[in-house]
Amino acid sequence: MEKKAHKRSPLRVVTMLARQKLVIALINLSGGRASRLQIMKQAFLLRQRLSPDYARCFYEFLPYQYGPFSFALYHDLSNMASAGLITFPSDRTVGTTEFASTLNERLDARLLKEVDAFWSIYGKYRIGELVNLVYERYPWYASRSRRAKQSEPTEEPKCAVYTIGYEGMQIDGFLNLLLSSGIRTIIDVRKNAVSRVYGFYGSTLAFIAKRVGIGYRHVPELGIPSEWRINLDSEEDLSALFMKYRGEVLPSVENSVANIASLIVQKPSVLMCLESNPVHCHRSIVAEEVSRVTGLSIRDLRWANADAATDDTSTYHRDDLSPSFKGLQGAGMHRRHH
C-alpha cells in the first residue's frame, strides 16, 4: 500500500518562540537574499535597538570568530530548516517557505513597528558594511574575531571562589558573562548534567565552551541525588536537604573539593549549577568548603549585583516577547532535573 505523504502540522509553527518568528521576519524582509552571517549581524543590531522589554527576550550574543555570534540562533536556524520553515537556496542565502512568510501577522503590532524602523535604517546595508559597523560600534563583540587586529583586553578577575546559576539564561548570554568576567573553566556541580534549555546539557556545554576558549569539568559526585530533591515545597525542606548534604555527601568528597580548590587557585573558575539564587543552591555549600580550603572569598557572578541584573537585557529572557515581562521569575526550590 502506498504511504501517504506526511503533512507537517502547523502546531509546531504556532508554538514557535517569538524570537524565532522575529528572525523569520528579518529573512522575509531580505527577500531571501541574506546570508546566515548577514542574518546573524542583523539580529545582533536589532537586539541593540529593541525596547528593553523586547530585547531581554531576544537572542543573546557573545564575541566569536566573525564578531557577535549566537549559538542559540544558529541552532534555531538549523531546526527551522528541518521543520520546513526556512530554506538555504544556496550556500550564501537564506529564504523562507510560503507558510513561514505569514508569521509576521502573529507578532505584536508594536514589535513589528520596531522591526520596520530597524529595517528602514539597516535594510540596505551589505554584509561588509554591517560587519564594519558592528566592529566599530561594539568592539567587545569583535575582540575575538579573526579580523581583529588585537584582542579586547579582559581585566584579570580577583582571586575568588566564583559561582553561577544558569536559570533564566541563554547559553550565549551565560558564556558572554563568563568571558567578560575572565572565567577560564566551568566546574559543573550538578549530579546529572542534563537540561531542556539548549546549550546546558553537559556535552553540549562542553563543546560550545571549548569553542570560545573556556574549559569544562563535570564533578557529579558533588551533586545532590535526584531522589533527595523530591517534594521540596518550603524553605524548611530546603534547609533539611542541605543539612543532609553536609552530613552525608561532603565527608565523602574531600578529594574532589581539594581538586577543585587546586584548580581555582591556578586559574579563574566558576562553580555552576541551575538555580540563579545561590542561597537556594547546594553550590554555595561547595563554595564554602572550597573557600575554607583556599582562604578565598565567595562571589556569585549574577547575584552579587542582583538589583541591577533584573534590568540587564543580556541576562534574563522568557519564551516569548511579552512587553509585560519584568525581571526574573520566582527562583523556586532546588530543582529535580538539573
Q: Which residues of the chain form CATH 1.10.10?
A: 11-142
SS3 sequence of the chain: CCCCCCCCCCHHHHCCCHHHHHHHHHHHHHCCCECHHHHHHHHHHHHHHCCHHHHCCCCCCEEECCEEECHHHHHHHHHHHHCCCEEEEECCEEEECCCHHHHHHHCCHHHHHHHHHHHHHHCCCCHHHHHHHHHHHCHHHHCCCCCCCCCCCCCCCCCCEEEEECCCCCHHHHHHHHHHHCCCEEEECCCCCCCCCCCCCHHHHHHHHHHCCCEEEECHHHCCCHHHHCCCCCHHHHHHHHHHHHHHCHHHCHHHHHHHHHHHHHCCEEEEECCCCHHHCCHHHHHHHHHHHHCCCEEECCHHHHHHHCCCCCCCCCCCCCCCCCCCCCCCCCCCCC
In this predicted structure, what is the pLDDT of residue 148? Answer: 64
CATH number of 161-309: 3.40.1010
In this predicted structure, what is the pLDDT of residue 229? Answer: 81
- Give domain 11-142's CATH number out of 3.10.450, 1.10.10, 1.10.3470, 1.10.150: 1.10.10
In this predicted structure, what is the pLDDT of residue 248? Answer: 95
In this predicted structure, what is the pLDDT of residue 321? Answer: 43
Q: Which residues of the chain form CATH 3.40.1010?
A: 161-309
* Regions of the chain where pLDDT drops below 50: 1-15, 306-332, 336-337
In this predicted structure, what is the pLDDT of residue 230? Answer: 81
Q: Would you say the pTM of this structure is higher than 0.75?
A: yes
What tens digit of pLDDT does each residue of 47-92 get? 999 999 899 899 999 999 989 999 999 999 999 888 888 888 776 7
CB 298 within 8 A of CB 284: yes
In this predicted structure, what is the pLDDT of residue 86? Answer: 87
In this predicted structure, what is the pLDDT of residue 5? Answer: 41
